[in-house]
Amino acid sequence: MKQLVRFFIIGMLVSGVLLYLISSLNQSQGYTGGNTLTIFNWGDYIDEELITQFEAETGIKIVYETFDSNEAMMTKIEQGGTSYDIAVPSEYMIDKMRQEDLLIPLDHDKLPNLKNIDERFLDLPFDPDNIYSVPYFWGTVGITYNAELLPDKTFTSWNDLWDPDLKNEIILIDGAREIIGMGLNSLGYSLNDTNKAHLQEAFDKLGTLTPNIKAIVGDENKLLMQNNEAAVAVLWSGDAADIMWENEAIDYVIPEEGSNLWFDNIVIPKTAKNIEAAHAFINFMLDAKVAAQNTEYVAYSTPNQAALQYMDPEMVADERFYPPPALTEKLEVYQNLGKRNLAYYNDLFLAFKMYGK
């Protein structure tokens, strides 16, 4: 019996020493519970120098993870396996997350730099009064084309994509909302339309576009356009800006029928363990100079009006990426369509991708 007690005591001492060593190691690397901030963001969607700067200024260690879709992001947060303190979902997903009680309300008193955001991008329907989110980046969906490969072509409308001369020349985003929405817009319908007759009409019209489609891809679209392997692409504006930086023959246009005006906003998920640090990070990213540096790295449009004075004037004056209010008023923000309607969009898109195979 005494031997068992001795073994038990020795085991407890060993466990205590191990826990102490692990704790000391974590503290030496900045991974204590009170000074760690876990961020969940899209890939290559922040200037990493700013992460280093925030850590140096605050003593808070950032653990950074990425996702490749809003749905994947939400699934991980719902599962609760990781205590994410910050996430960056898109507008329709913010609406869904707040409805499902997955977000923590923001304390605006801890976000004095919120004053830097352009009022056009505040108090939007997916988050009235910005109770749960603050704008991070915004942009549009439009047509990117190579003017050297297509010297006799101009693009002003979605319907220009159906030109027979563009056979096997077009790359499309691998996204249901974007492509079904494009079909709806080309017919004069809202890209949030849930009328099944209209959706079927859009699907049928998209089917006639298939001879012109070279590929439906993700990040590969930028490389294909940069290398002149395709002449036209339907892309997000930030991707277009990246391509244009690498290839001066590339241009970008927002179709006259309208398109998507999208937003990615910063939120604090219910999984958060360090709410104080989350607010500090959000306010840091809202700083005018920080936002300007981040924008020039990421290349998407910033909603931070105060940051514009610190940016390249040519970038700010480019109406392809900073369209005037008269144009943005014609654009539509994606609405949360609900599970049933979203599933129908996804089914149509999958059928479209299989069209003609």
The pLDDT of residue 338 is 87
Task: List pLDDT tens digits, range 105-116.
Answer: 999 999 999 999
Tell me the domain boundaries of the chain: 34-138+263-322, 139-261+331-353
Of the ranges 16-30, 161-175, 176-190, 236-250, which one carries the lowest mean pLDDT score?
16-30
Single-letter residue type at 42: W
d(CA 142, CA 158): 8
Q: Which of 311, 309, 287 is nearest to 298 (CA)?
A: 311
The pLDDT of residue 249 is 93
The pLDDT of residue 293 is 98
Reading the block at residue 173, the tokens are 């985003």
For residue 59, give the 3-state DSSP assignment: coil
Using 50, 70 and 90 to split pLDDT, how confident is the model at 219?
confident
Using 50, 70 and 90 to split pLDDT, how confident is the model at 161?
very high
DSSP of 94-156: HHHHHHTT-BPPP-GGG-GGGGGB-GGGSS-TTSGGGSSEEEEEEEEEEEEEETTT-TT----
CA dist 96 → 12, 78, 127, 252, 333 (Å): 47, 12, 10, 31, 14
d(CA 195, CA 327): 26
d(CA 140, CA 253): 10
Task: List pLDDT tens digits, range 339-348.
Answer: 899 899 999 9
Using 50, 70 and 90 to split pLDDT, how confident is the model at 15?
very low
Average confidence (pLDDT) over 325-345: 87
Phi then psi for 144, rounded to 5 degrees? -105, 135
Using 50, 70 and 90 to split pLDDT, how confident is the model at 34?
low
The answer to whether domain 34-138+263-322 and domain 139-261+331-353 are alike in fold is yes
More confident residue, 296 or 20: 296
Phi then psi for 265, rounded to 5 degrees? -120, 155
- Whether pLDDT at 28 is above 90: no
Instruction: Tell me which DSSP letter residue 335 carries.
Output: P
120, 327 Cβ separation under 8 angstroms: no
More confident residue, 163 or 35: 163
Burial label for 179, CB within 10 Å (0-12, 13-18, 19+), is buried
CA dist 124 → 99, 120, 192, 262 (Å): 15, 8, 16, 11
Instruction: Say whether domain 34-138+263-322 belongs to CATH 3.40.190.10.
Output: yes
The pLDDT of residue 32 is 40
**What is the fold, at CATH topology level, of the domain defined by 139-261+331-353?**
D-Maltodextrin-Binding Protein; domain 2 (3.40.190)
Average confidence (pLDDT) over 122-128: 94
- Whether pLDDT at 11 is above 70: no
78, 117 Cβ separation under 8 angstroms: no
**What percentage of the chain carries pLDDT values higher than 90?**
71
Q: In degrees, to the nearest 5, what angle opens at C-alpha 136 toward C-alphas 113 and 156? A: 130
Reading the block at residue 350, the tokens are 């999958």
